[in-house]
Amino acid sequence: MRDITVLSGGHGGSKFISGLLHGISAGRVPGIEEDARVTVIANTADDLWMHGVKVCPDLDTVMYTLGNGFDHERGWGRKAETWSIKEELEAYEVPGTWFGLGDRDIATHLVRTQMLEAGFSLSQVTAALCERWLKPVWGDRVRLLPMTDDRVETHVAVKDADSPSGLAVVHFQEYWVRLRAGVPVEKLIFVGQDEAKPGPGVMDALLKSDLVIVPPSNPVVSIGTVLGVPGIREGLVATSAPVVGISPIISGHHVRGMAEQMLAAVGVDATAAAVGLHYGKRGSGGVLDGWLVDTADADAVPALTESGLKATAVPLWMSSEDATADIAAAAVGLVAR
Ligand code: GDP
Ligand code: CA
């Protein structure tokens, strides 16, 4: 297999892709050629405008991670970051300083915003930013595509005793960063999703690749939003490539983030089995051929197999590049056999 397409959110997705690329280069992923090309289709429903600049958290997490610029200790943003602009904004008491924008990171958003305002599409801007981050490290082996060039935003309706309706609607980032995913979710609203079109290259990547991977990203607000762009789910259903997914849920819990809260909001149990069945088997209304669960969830395998999915249990903690490469190898092996 030479052309691999991976859907992605931010942290979980990029960690997986980094391990996959490491594994491919090291010849640790049997079945994938060492010069394989990886196309990443990233979620853009977390995107927001802050202080006049366009911020794309998941695109940037993938870009910084694969370009060796990510701060792994903090878990988001640029390494060697400084915070002068944030301090100055706080001194002005402007709203929105709950969203941390570092000085280095802001340069990315300034370039993006200038290019968007000059008339370039988000895909074109992303390709330009990747000239700096991906090209020097990966050459033409990795491509990063936004799921869409259209504006799609996840909003969250939360309980708010101070509002006459008893509800407040906030951007997903405000729910996650300011409210720390700590308030009950009434409803998720995917603004703009129904009118969005897949970004340039997205459908081609899905239909012409040799393998499609759904990494351990958030099933609702990362992968769910990618699949929600009209055409993309259909692309996964139609492609002749096998489609394999990896559970972000281990032993009934997300590893980090807020997948448990998001799954509850759409009425899906936070278990590896329920998430696999939620994605579902291709040919029976779903998008997957295979689903990897952690060894702690091995008892989920029979129900998954009964639904028609290929399923197996292997360790799913992405604790090192090697461990993640082994997860990728198990995923490929599951659908290649
Ligand atoms: P976000 O956009 O930054 O939230 O990142 P993603 O949506 O790409 O990934 C978030 C998901 O990654 C969460 O649901 C986590 O449970 C999952 N995750 C993080 N680390 C690991 C890991 O080591 N193993 C597995 N299986 N899942 C992980
Ligand atoms: Ca995200």
The residue whose two tokens read 């979980």 is: 12
- Are both 159 and 248 inside the same structural domain? no
Interatomic CA distance for residues 176 and 220, integer angstroms: 14
CATH code for the domain of 296: 3.40.50.10680
Beta strand 243-246 with 249-250 is unpaired
Q: Is the CB of 83 under 6 A from ligand 1?
A: no
Residue 256, in any domain of the structure: yes
Beta strands in the chain (DSSP E): 3-8, 37-42, 48-50, 53-55, 142-146, 153-159, 167-171, 185-191, 211-214, 243-246, 249-250, 253-254, 290-293, 310-313
Residue 210, in any domain of the structure: yes
Residue 254, in any domain of the structure: yes
- Are both 167 and 271 inside the same structural domain? no
- Are both 170 and 271 inside the same structural domain? no
Nearest CA to ligand 1 atom 25: 248
pLDDT in tens, the chain (337 residues): 999 999 999 999 999 999 999 999 999 999 999 999 999 999 999 999 999 999 999 999 999 999 999 999 999 999 999 999 999 999 999 998 899 899 999 999 999 999 999 999 999 999 999 999 999 999 999 999 999 999 999 999 999 888 998 899 999 999 999 999 999 999 999 999 999 999 999 999 999 999 999 999 999 999 999 999 999 999 999 999 999 999 999 999 999 999 999 999 999 999 999 999 999 999 999 999 999 999 999 999 999 999 999 999 999 999 999 999 999 999 999 999 6
Q: Is the CB of 275 under 6 A from ligand 1?
A: no
- Are both 329 and 206 inside the same structural domain? yes
The residue whose two tokens read 């259909």 is: 234
Residue 242, in any domain of the structure: yes
What is the number of structural domains in the chain? Answer: 2
Question: What is the reported pTM?
Answer: 0.98
Residue 94, in any domain of the structure: no
Q: Is the CB of 318 under 6 A from ligand 1?
A: yes
- Are both 170 and 211 inside the same structural domain? no
- Are both 173 and 285 inside the same structural domain? no
* Nearest ligand 1 atom, CA 247: 26
At which of 191, 213, 237 does a domain end?
Answer: 191
- Are both 182 and 210 inside the same structural domain? no
Residue 148, in any domain of the structure: no
User: Which among 177, 217, 227, 314 is the best mutation to test ligand 1's pocket, defined by most ligand atoms within 8 Å of the CB?
Assistant: 217
Interatomic CA distance for residues 126 and 144, integer angstroms: 7
* Nearest ligand 1 atom, CA 259: 14
Q: Is the CB of 58 under 6 A from ligand 1?
A: yes
Burial class (CB in 10 A: 0-12, 13-18, 19+), 69: buried
- Are both 184 and 307 inside the same structural domain? no
Nearest CA to ligand 1 atom 21: 255
- Are both 177 and 222 inside the same structural domain? no
User: Structural domain of residue 186, as residue ranges?
Assistant: 153-191
Residue 125, in any domain of the structure: no
Residue 142, in any domain of the structure: no
Segment (H or E) for 227: helix 223-227
- Are both 329 and 278 inside the same structural domain? yes
